[in-house]
Chain A
């Protein structure tokens, strides 16, 4: 067993802030955020399970110094790659590899450029977390979003093979994207409250900013769905303007 895998077995207690409110609040959102050690070795499978069922285990593992970020990144990359591949089947050809690549790249850039603001916003909520801890939280948020998108991939595929409407597929993907980010936000605010943040209002605000950034990123790296003559767009556009034009073209 590697040293990394041995660490989560530690029985050292994790002391939470002197209030039961964060945990109760987290449970009210349907999120079981009990901070507890991973029952077995820390691998991709246990990290995925923890993301979905017991995010508190990730917090515990991170607090014990277990390297989670590479595993979380792998979960993100693999999930987004498969989701992108399914999106690519709408047009086929170049999009089969371009869409997964753009999704992974876009999410990575969005995460990187939003990280400084997450640090400041979480501090304003009273969270005293180290950048490394916050990076794990951010990666957990993105990984959960990506996992949900992977879960939605078969649904997207059913519609990709049966409809030509770019607007319909676009709306569907946008809906699933927002649902994924909604659950991602839950893990971020739940974890920050469990770690001692006074509130999660600034983190919620940050999540809105992050959502807008990902939507703009999807526009800047267009097309994710459909085809284009060039790999990247020649024209700069705001995402709302781009959507409006796409809908206008449908008419």
Chain B
């Protein structure tokens, strides 16, 4: 049982990642968070926000630092903003889907749950930022001839770091939802819904907030001159089209995307229905009489 109060105690709980403890944390009534023995009554939201702002800003700085320290500062501001904006845009629909899919969470609990996941991610990547910074200090100059090859290497390694941290954060989130709801299928379904929405919106917001890594061929900027021109998915489609067949129509792309989405949705629905023990024959033949 958690009795640790204050931000540090809360963050320790988060890093331990015990689903039972986190579930109890999630169930605490508003205004009573952290009010355990000797607790200072610190709120949940400030603790999670400190983790996200601190971790994401540190990692963001290390991402942009290679291009220029100013770019590092810009990314340190943008990365936490990206997390909070994603949650802001998806907060309503995440809460609704969580309730509809049977998680039993309120809007506030859904928000805290998502913040916990992002905070775990931020703590992980933030803890790696000194290593990335040191690596950057040892890197060739961005404008040097070998800079371009190093940039690709840097992109690849950091994509790996982000992917691994994202997987760990989401596995923990899955365990937490499972502990909270008591049902694996509902937990998987809820996580799938939240993750799909957050990835879908997060990709577009990161497209708007680019640059993050700071391409050495482009100037140091907070945002590109045309941040709201175009969208992530169209850009990906145009790149794919160029590599497959430049004559392919955009309509084909939309149709393919729609068919893939529908297929994934149907597959997920069929799999969760097949795994659900409650979908079997009724155990009790007695009439349901509910007062």
Contacts and interface: CB of A to CB of B under 8 A. Distances in A.
A250 B251 contact: yes
B99 A158 contact: no
Interface string B217-248: 00000000001111101100000000000000
Interface stretch (B8-16, B36-44, B283-291): B283-291
A18 B279 contact: no
B276 interface: yes
B102 A11 contact: no
Contact of B278 (A13, A16, A28, A150): A28
A153 B91 CA distance: 11
Interface stretch (B51-59, B62-70, B200-208): B200-208
A208 to B, nearest CB: 14
B92 interface: yes
Contacts of B287: 15-20
A152 interface: yes
- Overall SS of chain A's interface: helix
Interface stretch (B71-79, B137-145, B166-174, B254-262): B254-262
A128 interface: no
Nearest to A148: B96
Given A250-B251, A251-B251, A155 B282 contact: no
A180 to B, nearest CB: 10
A152 B289 contact: no
Given A163-B231, A168-B254, A158 B204 contact: yes
B231 A168 contact: yes
Interface stretch (A31-39, A91-99, A135-143, A198-206): A31-39
Interface string A14-27: 11111111111101
- Overall SS of chain B's interface: helix
A247 B189 contact: no
Contacts of B97: 151
**What bracket does the count of chain A residues touching chain B fall in?**
35 or more
**What bracket does the count of chain B residues touching chain A fall in?**
35 or more
B267 interface: no
B254 A247 contact: yes
Contacts of A27: 102, 278
Contact of A248 (B89, B204, B251): B251
Contacts of B230: 162-163
Contacts of B96: 52, 147-148, 151
A162 B228 contact: yes
B100 interface: yes
B197 to A, nearest CB: 7
Contacts of B195: none
A20 B101 contact: no
A53 interface: yes
Given A30-B185, A162-B204, 7 more contacts: A20-B284, A21-B281, A24-B278, A24-B283, A28-B278, A52-B99, A168-B234
6 contacts: A20-B286, A22-B288, A36-B291, A52-B96, A152-B93, A154-B90
